[in-house]
Amino acid sequence: MKVSGLTFPDLKKWVTADLGMKPYRARQLFSWIHLKRVTSFYQMTDISLSARNRLDRVGEITALAICDTITADDGTLKYSFTLGDGEVIESVLIPDPPRLTACISTQAGCRRACTFCQTGRGGFRRDLRTDEIVAQLYGLQNSTDDRISNVVFMGMGEPMDNFPALSDALSIISDDRGICIGARKITVSTIGIPGGIGRLAQLDGQYGLAVSLHSAVESTRRKLMPVSRTMSLQELKRDLMDYVSRKSRRITLEYCLIAGINDTIEEAEALVEFAGDIECKINLLIYNPVEGAPYRRPDIESVNRFMHYLYPRCQAVILRRSRGSDIAAACGQLGPSARNTSAT
């Protein structure tokens, strides 16, 4: 059993029903694994040796080996982790005092094939299990003395495509018996797949939601993100408005400006129209070149023109600094062959 991938209720069930142990053992185990972050049952000194022997025979605590770390000029750190089967995934740690944000992957590769994204270009290899998602976060936390304050599911993969593992990981990392990162400090970023946002809305926590919009013009969005052929902008907007009203939380629209594709005034008008009645913040990013992709960064004049069109017409617009672009750790740049050129 991959014990470190069990939510507290599932752990309690396993400990009592399958192992016949007392319920308090579940709390001890959860705290050792998710608060003290031990990786062996033998480190759990308040559990009897016979119980530890048994746990070691039937259970497993996942730890991921860091195989590479690169630091960007702005202090952003990109980590590569090797999974048990040899797959390599990437995660990013973004220091921005007082915040320290961990950007976590949910899949090895991605099947969504967004045309601007390095991960998408590398194809899909497999979903991560809950224990692997959680182990990434603990690997990052163990590498620094500062406490990780925020988590964004914005690394490799489309989180909604791996929803069961995502949902359990959310439950584990926001549990106050463990690493305890509050739901409001955790953001799930999606390109918007049918049913995905609705499933997230049904979870208990007030998790943040970021949507990679990148265009509010159907034909442009389809070019950038093939998934939008299966979910129209109208359907996406309905799901977003539903999320806002269920969670009483403003959402974030991510919009990556790409030269000549989505940085025109017509695109800005469409964005204003789309965002107008959604309680949202718009994060503008500037495209980071990806090897082999047919796109360019926009020049500063078109970025300014786009921003100045939005400013008086939208509730909140932020031009976000892209972190880690010199080490291929910025949005859309994570992937097996991404180096020095910089997902959802």
Which string of DSSP letters, residue by residue, matches 18-78? IT---THHHHHHHHHHHTS--S-GGG-TTS-HHHHHHHHHH-B----EEEEEEE-TTS-EE
Nearer to ligand SF4, 26 or 211 (CB): 211
Applying CB under 6 A, the span of 12-20, 74-82, 116-124, 270-278 interacting with ligand SF4 comes to 116-124
Which of 270, 170, 146, 164 has the alpha carbon at shortest distance from 214? 270
114 binds ligand SF4 (CB under 6 A): yes
Minimum separation from the CB atom of position 332 to ligand SF4 (A): 6
What residues from 117 to 136 belong to the interface with ligand SF4 (CB under 6 A)? Answer: 117, 119-120
Instruction: Determine whether 90 is an active site residue.
Output: yes
Which string of DSSP letters, residue by residue, matches 235-258? HHHHHHHHHHHHHT--EEEEEEE-
191 binds ligand SF4 (CB under 6 A): yes
**What CA–CA distance (Å, rounded) separates 328 from 183?**
28
Which of 205, 225, 192 has the alpha carbon at shortest distance from 295? 225
- State which amino acid sits at residue 85: D
72 binds ligand SF4 (CB under 6 A): no
The residue whose two tokens read 């192992």 is 19
Applying CB under 6 A, the span of 9-17, 155-163, 194-202, 292-300 interacting with ligand SF4 comes to 155-163
Question: What character string, x for contact with ligand SF4 (CB under 6 A) and - otherwise, covers 202-231?
Answer: ----------x-------------------
Nearer to ligand SF4, 32 or 163 (CB): 163
Instruction: Determine whether 218 is an active site residue.
Output: no
192 binds ligand SF4 (CB under 6 A): no
Compute how many other C-beta atoms are within 10 angstroms of the C-beta atom of residue 231: 19
157 binds ligand SF4 (CB under 6 A): yes
Q: Which of 67, 87, 90, 279 is catalytic?
A: 90
**Counting every residue, how long is the chain?**
344
Residues in contact with ligand SF4 by CB under 6 A are: 110, 112-114, 117, 119-120, 156-158, 191, 212, 332, 343-344
